[in-house]
């Protein structure tokens, strides 16, 4: 005696087969997704964490600092007005304690590492008037929600040098680039990677 499938059993069997097949497809997709969506492979850099310095004492004036987020790194940009086409120098390095320019007072930064950015251009004009002076100095740029940056603090400008403290999640690789423009201005760009 054989049992003939009833319409109800056939529907239940079809639903079960469909559910199992769908689960298999979802499982295969879930297993394949990390390999194809892994941003780390595309974010590999040849950057390091040793000090980077270049360029002379510049003729331009620091007039703004801003930040941006990218897939593989966080970026800090220091705008130097009238820098004469890359006539700007810098010294960027990890330090054990970030200090204010001139006074030398310690400025605590959030994060596990302190990156000191010195731009060899003042943030004041020939008459001594500030061209950049954020308030509050300890929160010069809002970097809340960034992957790598934890805090940007203005260390001041003294004897032609301007200092910025960058609180970083960890001692991560970075690179420094000087870009021309717009016009007769320049930008000192510091990129800090999200990972090694």
Average pLDDT over residues 34-58: 75
**Residue 148's CB: how many other CB atoms inside 10 A?**
25
Dump pLDDT digits (tens) for 126-167.
999 999 999 999 999 999 999 999 999 999 999 999 999 999
Between these two residues, 32 and 74, which has the higher pLDDT value? 74
DSSP, collapsed to helix, strand or coil, labels residue 184 as: coil
Q: What is the pLDDT of residue 27?
A: 41
Beta-carbon contacts of residue 43 (< 8 Å; ≥ 6 apart): 71, 72, 73, 193, 194, 195
Question: What are the helix (H) ranges across the chain?
Answer: 7-37, 39-42
Which is higher by pLDDT, 22 or 138? 138
pLDDT tens digits along 54-80: 998 988 999 999 999 999 999 999 999
- Whether the pLDDT of residue 35 is over 60: the answer is no
Q: Phi, psi (5° rounding) for residue 126?
A: -65, -25
Comparing C-alpha atoms, which of 170, 166, 161 is closest to residue 139? Answer: 166
Residue 29, pLDDT > 60, answer: no
Which strands form 90-95's sheet, in the order they lie side by side?
A: 52-54, 90-95, 113-119, 161-168, 149-158
What is residue 173's predicted lDDT score, i.e. its pLDDT? 98
Length of the chain: 196
């Amino acid at each position: 005696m054989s049992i003939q499938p009833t319409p109800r059993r056939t529907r239940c069997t079809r639903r079960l087969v469909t559910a199992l097949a769908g689960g298999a497809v979802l499982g295969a997709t879930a297993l394949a997704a990390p390999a194809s969506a892994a941003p780390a492979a595309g974010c590999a850099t040849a950057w390091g964490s040793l000090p980077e310095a270049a360029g002379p004492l510049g003729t331009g004036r620091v007039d703004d600092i801003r930040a941006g987020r990218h897939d593989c790194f966080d970026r800090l940009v220091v705008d130097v007005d009238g820098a004469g086409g890359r006539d700007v120098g810098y010294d960027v390095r990890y330090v054990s304690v970030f200090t204010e320019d001139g006074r030398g007072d310690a400025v605590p930064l959030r994060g596990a590492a302190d990156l000191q950015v010195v731009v060899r251009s003042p943030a004041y004009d020939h008459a001594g008037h500030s061209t950049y002076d954020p308030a509050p100095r300890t929160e010069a740029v809002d970097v809340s929600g960034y992957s790598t940056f934890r805090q940007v603090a203005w260390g001041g400008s003294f004897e032609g040098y301007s200092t910025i403290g960058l609180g970083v999640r960890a001692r991560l690789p970075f690179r420094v680039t000087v870009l021309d423009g717009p016009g007769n201005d320049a930008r000192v760009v510091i990129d800090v990677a999200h990972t090694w």
